[in-house]
Chain A
Amino acid sequence: MSTRRTRTLAGWTIADLAVVLYALFPVWWIVALSFKDPATLTDGDFVPRRWTWANYRGIFETSEFTRALVNSIGIAVISTTIAVVLGTMAAYAVARLRFPGKRLLIGISLLIAMFPPISLVSPLFDIERALGLFDTWAGLVIPYMTFSLPLAIYTLSAFFREIPWDLEKAAKVDGATPWQAFRLVIAPLAAPGVLTTAILVFIFCWNDFLFAISLTSTTAARTVPAAIAFFTGSSQFEQPTGSIAAAAVIITIPIVIFVLLFQRRIVAGLTAGAVKG
């Protein structure tokens, strides 16, 4: 009996390991690539024979990458903030208040979050050129609203539906002012949902490639994913492989940190609206 249990345990452990390897090995490959000495870049090894920071130093030497990094952070933070603030207001209303059209709002949000971005690229390209928004931060923040705001409304309303709003009433009965009831009772319950939504929206904005390559033309607003695609080697005869790998690792780091810190919350966020029901 006990050997059978050991064997089952071993089986599942192997399965777990396989899953972890599956998920991480392409990531490890690009990390290894980024630390390879330019001379050994093409050896195909999983572990660099000579570790070097040269690729990282290289991308930070010119302003092309640092500028893109600043753009990425700025644009993603602004988009996330706007989406979460407007989304919280709407989701609160949907979860808490009675008014016509709230089902429609949620339904439309979900459909728009699934929207093909290419369908918006050509009109936005023309509109933004006319308005002078092309190749500016605002020119990317605005299209990011198309998916980030519906995503925020949808996820937040799923979270807010779970909050026992009667607690607020109970606090007021116990003598709390409306502001105290909100601050001490509702805000702490709502905060995890808002945080989770912010992380999911941030990941989406950070990840965007199509809008970023279509609606920018210089380093003024180009984000890292787009900048990577336009990297050139330090000479015409050199492949930009090392630079791309190093830049790729750098934009992956914030996401990996989010995932490590908020793993449980992200899972809750991904599954909150989608599966229950």
Chain B
Amino acid sequence: MTPPTRTRDDAVRKPAGPSRGAREERRLGLLLCAPAVVVILAVTAYPIGYAGYLSLQRYDLRFPDQAHWVGLANYGAVLTSPIWWQALGITVLITVVSVAVELALGLALALVMQRALLGRGTVRTAVLVPYGIVTVVAAYSWQYAWTPGTGYLAALLPAGSAPLTEQWPAIGLIILAEVWKTTPFMALLLLAGLALVPDETVRAAMVDGATFGQRLRLVILPLMKPAILVALLFRTLDAFRIFDDIYVLTGGSHGTGSVSILGYDNLFTALNLGIGSAISVLIFVCVALIALVFVKLFGTAAPGTEPEHR
């Protein structure tokens, strides 16, 4: 950000000590960042490292005295277990479907919000409510809606059906809850992306006789690509760690548990810190891989590069 004029300025004013000024600036910069960096290392890097250490031990909280080093055995146990692969499959399915639906729905929402002629403020405020509302609250709202006898949505189903107790319907409802809650976030990011598309370009295409679909596909979407990729990256990483909705809606029963639910269960139901930590590390690796794939494959602007691009 610091414009080159500044350095030139300094050099003109203090010909003797530009390097001293630069040194002081460096020191101040590092000093101001130090507390934040120390806290981040203490609350993130250290626990992750510790999780790695724990994951190499046999460590069951019911028998703490028997804790001992087992090397990679916990990883072996997790990776050869069908439970892990099923949870991973469910998580990937929920992530892919909900992000895809959110992208389509979010784009539609963004287009409506951009054109909103009446009460644009009202529409935006309304759309922000799902973003702000506590996930657990939203999940309960959906749970009650689908509970036979209590809910308005369950009443629409044939008598005797309890969608939350069957695997596929329950997964569908989890996706629905996730989509409802986060589509507005997607829509707002896409709306900001739409704002980057110059009006003249769209109008020029219109004059040339392009239909709405053609304008969207050939003009608007390519120009929005950076915004779309960033929104997709954010939402994919976010959806992959889904926990609250599943915990409330099904508790992870009937084969609806995500990897986060699996980690939680191993820790707090089975009290197995070793296995739980191995799952924690594996989830961390999955998320890192997703981020890597996005950055490498799709060329999402690497975070932190913006200042230099300006």
Contacts and interface: CB of A to CB of B under 8 A. Distances in A.
A175 interface: no
B54 A123 contact: yes
B69 interface: no
A247 B116 CA distance: 34
Given A26-B145, A209-B135, A274 B192 contact: yes
Given A99-B25, A119-B51, A275-B189, A44 B125 contact: no
A26 B189 contact: no
A241 B137 CA distance: 12
Interface stretch (B165-173, B198-206, B299-307): B299-307
A233 to B, nearest CB: 13
Contacts of A256: 129, 132-133
B48 A123 contact: yes
A97 B267 contact: no
A95 to B, nearest CB: 6
A244 to B, nearest CB: 6
Nearest to A85: B35
Interface string B32-71: 1101110110011011101100100000000000000000
Identify which of B121, B136, B308 gathers the most chain A CB atoms within 10 Å of its CB: B136
A124 to B, nearest CB: 5
A119 B29 contact: no
Contacts of A44: 149-152, 154-155
B296 interface: no
A222 B149 CA distance: 31
A112 B46 CA distance: 13
Contact of A107 (B142, B287, B303): B303
A271 B264 contact: no
A177 interface: no
B97 interface: no
Query: Which secondary structure dominates where chain A touches chain B?
Result: helix
B152 A46 contact: yes
Given A103-B307, A153-B36, A19 B123 contact: yes
Interface string A236-277: 000001001100100110011011100110110011001111
A193 interface: no
Interface size class of B (residues with CB under 8 A): 35 or more
A96 B1 contact: yes
Given A13-B118, A16-B118, A122 B277 contact: yes
A143 interface: yes
B73 interface: no
B26 A274 contact: no
B196 A275 contact: yes
A30 B244 contact: no
A56 to B, nearest CB: 15
Nearest to A104: B304
Interface string A114-156: 1111111111111100000000000000110110011001100
B138 interface: yes
A221 interface: no
A89 interface: yes
Contacts of A182: none
A206 interface: yes
B127 interface: yes
Query: Which secondary structure dominates where chain B touches chain A?
Result: helix
Interface stretch (B78-86, B211-219, B278-286): B278-286
Interface in B120-144: 121-138, 140-142, 144
B280 A255 contact: no
B137 A252 contact: yes
Contacts of B174: none
Given A124-B47, A275-B189, A30 B141 contact: yes
Interface string B258-286: 01100110011000010011011101100
A123 B109 contact: no
A98 B2 contact: yes
A72 to B, nearest CB: 10
Nearest to B49: A123
B44 A115 contact: yes
Given A19-B127, A263-B125, A121 B264 contact: yes
A219 B150 CA distance: 29
26 contacts: A12-B116, A26-B138, A26-B142, A44-B151, A44-B155, A82-B39, A102-B33, A103-B308, A107-B304, A111-B291, A116-B260, A119-B280, A119-B283, A125-B267, A161-B307, A210-B260, A214-B264, A225-B137, A228-B137, A244-B140, A245-B140, A267-B192, A270-B188, A274-B230, A275-B226, A277-B305
Interface of B: 1-2, 22, 25-30, 32-33, 35-37, 39-40, 43-44, 46-48, 50-51, 54, 109, 112-113, 115-119, 121-138, 140-142, 144-145, 149-152, 154-155, 180, 184-185, 188-189, 191-193, 196, 226-227, 230-231, 234, 237-238, 240-241, 243-244, 247-248, 259-260, 263-264, 267-268, 273, 276-277, 279-281, 283-284, 287, 291, 301-310
Given A97-B2, A98-B25, A121-B276, 6 more contacts: A16-B116, A26-B142, A114-B238, A119-B280, A143-B43, A277-B301
